[in-house]
A and B are shown apart, each in its own frame.
Chain A
Amino acid sequence: MPQLNQIGQRERLLTADGLSKAFAGVHALQEVSFDVRGGEVHALLGENGAGKSTLVKVISGVLRADSGEVRLRDEPFAPRDPGASLAAGVGVVFQELPLIPDLTVMENIYFNRQPLSPLGTVARRRMRARADELFASIGLAGINPTRQVRDLSVAARQLVAIAKVLAADPDIVVLDEATSALGPSEVAWLFERTRALAAAGKGIVFISHRLAEADEISDRVTVLRNGRNVGTWTAGEISPDGLISAMLGRRLEQLYPEQHNTPSDETVLAVRELAAGRRLHGVDFDLRRGEILGVCGLEGQGQLELFLSLYGVIRSRGSIAVEGEPRRLRSPRDALRAGLGLALVPEDRKNEGILPTLSVRENISLPSLRRVRRLGLIDRSAERQLIAPVIRDLRIGREDPEQLVSDLSGGNQQKVIVGKFLLTGAKILLFYDLTRGVDVGTKAEIFKMMEQLAAEGYAILFYSTDLAELVNVPHRTCVMFDGRIVAEFARASAAQDGATQEKLVAAMVGGTLRADDEARAVPGEPAEPGGQP
């Protein structure tokens, strides 16, 4: 790991000076200064809304700063758009993966700079050759450049997005949540590439919510909070707790709540040989009252189909029994009637499960309108009485039912989603990736809510992509691979052989746990040679 003075001597490639940007009165960036040096990997951390993405968008030209400037080496740098930015040597891999689905991989990589024939048309053969060369040089052997992006998995798309930026050989590479969909071996590949780029003198900016990853790869780390740069440290100079405090502005007493309750013996949900679509091949499990059951797995192993079948969104085979009674769940309405509630945050995070232009009251009461119907009309006062306890118990916003949900913070919006189902008499809650891209502070709130609900007797099925959460929050966690459950672990604190992140990873990438997997220090090597996720 480089020493402080070594970094200090490196050339400043990109310097942001006093950048400010405000939207409708919200100060997304306040006089942020930031620099990237040649040969370093510089992690940028912060809660949601801290300004990381805004900073990246200003640098790459998606947004124009209100004041301050950016310099590339010593010249002012203000690209018109990310394409121009890339051409000038600053490449950004955006969180949202801006790939064009109906074009092929190579068309995306060389978009708007495709090699041309004399007629002005795209020269496909030359483009293919260049793509093959590119993939070979960066070590991505398995992606066919002529496949349409729409046919690729999210992980593959993330790789293509990274390849697109690398293809232009930029001096600075910004990776904004570039690992969110990648499995361990792809993350390993990316880290290897990152180190290679740094060794070649490039500057890398690494943004992630996965603090462990950021810790592993970075030479320096900068924390943003509320739009300000609250400090830059070299790796090792500050502890993880110190980082979290800097991000939150306070000591986080506890990210993961005290684990008070034990689940009862009563089985609330019994699933046998549940299969659906092409990816869910048959799962069996029991969920008990008061239990939080975690689910983890690489992307596309059937976990989404599991949740959607339990909620009646997709057709499934096999049996589902709620409180002992077998149920046919053919639609969300059936699921609601059976006592299930689904809070699902989809990959694109576009529809967050709320109707933002409606009020808290209107959102929460939506599934339960029948209960406040009198003579065909909605009884407003009955409606207010019905939702008041929910708003109070979950502490939603400033506890004003008329507040529009769009005004609420992310964490409160999640509470509105959950609150809906508390009113429907749901006993089983399905949480799918609620904490994706969510900052530490909100996560703590969500975990506290989950523990509270479990204590009150709700049963929760909880899918997350953050291994640290899965090790600490659920009572037990099962691992899905190839459409089945292949392993199950108890909570880390509960038993000697409780879950660890390494064990989860090993099970995620290839099935059964083996004795020598204990010895692995670095997650990422597949358990078997040539084992592909």
Chain B
Amino acid sequence: MTTVTRSLSRNRTILFGYLLVVVLAIAGEIVSSGFLRINHIDELIITGGFIALVGVGQTFVILSGGVDLSIPWVLNAAAVFLTLWANGDSAKTIWIVPVLLGGAAVIGAVNGIGVAFLRIPPIIMTLGMSSVVEGGLLLVTNGGSGQNAPGAAVYLATHRWGPVPVLAVLWLAVLVASTVILSATPFGRRLYATGLNRRVAAFAGVNTQLVTVTVYVISSIAAALAGIVLAGYVGQSYLGMGDPYLFASVAAVAIGGTSILGGSGSFIGTTAGALALAVLAALLPILGLQPAALEIVYGCVILGAVALSSARKGQRDRTD
């Protein structure tokens, strides 16, 4: 095998993901005509974009061989603090947003340091930090519900340039940047190496600790960004708004073909997964299913996606 055949097989996985999106979208149109009107497609893209944003962060982490379970509460904390501090005043977002992203970076760094230097398994570290952030948030807000989002955030989240939502452009920029970073920069190469075999990478001079910390920082910043924009989209913040994004981020990554073990994957694939999930989420109410069904669907999708990708991987390297 060469790198050429390797990319071909990777592309095939991604193609499957997008095929899934198209199939689901068409199914939606069949069940309920008007599903595919422009306005609705925009909404789907935006919902998918939120999932894709946290999915991108999760992809970075999973590529390094870890996982980030703290995404929901980082997202929630960012949303709550945005609305709390801005109190409706858009001017304040100038300093609020950098502070929030900086705070998220700190949380990500703590995750990364725990995993890279203290050798704490990622599941445990991020699970623990998730509780810490959750507890911290509850303490600060005293369990109260949210405020209204400042105008700037609302504008960003809901404005359109013609038929194209501003958010879609943002998502696209994130996607392009992430893909370039992964496939064309030294960092991306080092990230792949770290995820494939940490010790070999370290012996080759890769600063695996720095790589690890960086990906958790990226993931937390992405989660915070998602929280800020989500608050704008929904118009307010409330406790629990991050909850669906844990399963969603992992499911998107799984559908997109990124290996849970690390070392192989792509953002374009994750985006396909995110879009598929968004369409799915929109389909369910149309089919008359309760929100509880979405949880069941998430679970089945994750299982199906990983089972499928593991079966195909097994076929490819059947040596034993």
Contacts and interface: CB of A to CB of B under 8 A. Distances in A.
| A and B in contact, CB less than 8 Å | yes
A373 B185 CA distance: 8
Given A357-B196, A377-B180, A420 B204 contact: yes
Contacts of B179: none
**Interface SS majority for chain A:** mixed
A342 interface: yes
Interface in A126-149: none
Nearest to B184: A377
**Interface SS majority for chain B:** helix
B286 interface: no
Interface string A340-370: 0010100000010111011101100111011
Residue in B4, B186, B196, B264 whose Cβ sees the most chain A Cβ within 10 Å: B186
B205 to A, nearest CB: 4
Contacts of A353: 200, 203
A378 interface: yes
B24 to A, nearest CB: 31
Interface string A397-428: 00010111011000000000000100010000
A333 B201 CA distance: 11
B205 A367 contact: yes
B203 A332 contact: yes
Interface stretch (B15-23, B187-195, B244-252): B187-195
Contacts of B264: 357
Interface residues of A, number: 37
B3 interface: yes
B196 A355 contact: yes
B6 interface: yes
A468 B311 CA distance: 46
B159 interface: no
A311 interface: yes
Contact of B318 (A23, A403, A424): A23
B44 to A, nearest CB: 33
Given A24-B318, A359-B2, A366-B193, A378 B186 contact: yes
B319 A404 contact: no
Contact of A400 (B2, B196, B199): B2
Given A351-B197, A404-B3, A357 B205 contact: no
B189 A377 contact: no
Contacts of A333: 205, 207
Given A361-B3, A407-B1, 9 more contacts: A23-B318, A332-B202, A358-B192, A359-B3, A359-B6, A366-B205, A367-B206, A378-B185, A403-B2
Interface of B: 1-4, 6, 180, 184-186, 189-190, 192-193, 196-197, 199-207, 263-264, 318-320
List of 7 A-B pairs having minimum Cβ-Cβ separation, nearest first: A369-B186, A367-B205, A402-B2, A366-B204, A402-B3, A404-B1, A336-B205
